Amino acid sequence: MKSNFKQLNLFEAEPTNTSPETIVLPRGYKGLAAFHKYWGKKPIESLAFLIENLTKKGDIVLDPFLGSGLVARETVIRQRLFIGIDINPVAVELSNLLIDLPSPNLLKEAIDKLEISVKSEIYKTYLLEDGKFATHYLWNGNKLNSVWQLSQKRNEGGKRLPTNYDYQLLKQFEEYQPQIPRPIKFFQNSRINTNDSLTLKDLFTGRALHNIDLLLGAIHKQPDTIKSALLLSLTSASGQMSNMVFAITGRGKTKSQPTNKIEVGSWVIGY
């Protein structure tokens, strides 16, 4: 949760560079495009080029599929009028944020306050008997295979077999009922492995839901001017707390060569 001021500088709004070099070699998921991993995001350089060269100030740009909101941002920065449509309310929230970015200083101050108010409570839920913190719990079906841990010295870590302590810690949150005020509706989609019988507890452990509630409670105490950015930050990060994170071997993610190293990935972007 510790804020990184260099990352917060992304919230200084400037038009995307539309030079031929950037259109041929777009930056992809960098800058503000990396803030929220919205499904189906496209390189913005070519779309910004079209806005810049096919419209003039005061013209209306229509985007019937808002998605990541980047077209809205590039349109407004170039002093065009904008109409956006999307069935997903997250897309609308994200677009509204990108056309009215908060001050990086205010955002940093808010994140620092969140850290003070909830970090220690969240850490307690991952505190192991030896004083280290669990970073991952590796499951095979319903069986807990190993616990990945990190010591208070950042570079020290390791993997170990689960103990009775681990099971007792998990059991504390088994019956936790999330405080999110409305039921979550899912739909049948085999591509992202969803069906209409899923609930929040199929996607998150009780411990994860407990910690998300802690964050939500703290975020809702923040001023409205900063609340949206914090909520969107939480939605972009909460996938890594979900059951959609997976661990596999043999993929060779970093060097494109088969490896026996356990690598972590996630399907959660599909949600």
Phi and psi dihedrals of 94, rounded to 5? Answer: -65, -40
Domain boundaries, given as residue ranges, for the chain = 5-98, 104-125+173-270
Predicted pLDDT at 214 = 95
3-state class (DSSP) for residue 248: strand
Average pLDDT of 223-236?
88
Predicted pLDDT at 255 = 63
Average pLDDT of 226-245?
85
Average pLDDT of 150-168?
77
Average pLDDT of 74-101?
91
- pLDDT per residue over 166-220, tens digit each? 999 999 999 999 887 677 778 887 776 778 888 888 888 999 999 999 999 999 9
Whether pTM exceeds 0.95: no
Predicted pLDDT at 90 = 85
Q: Name the average pLDDT for the chain.
A: 83
In sequence order, the 6+-apart residues with CB closer than 8 A to the CB of 184 are: 198, 199, 200
Exposed, middle or buried, 84 (CB in 10 Å: 0-12/13-18/19+)?
buried
Lowest mean pLDDT among 14-28, 41-55, 67-81, 202-216: 14-28
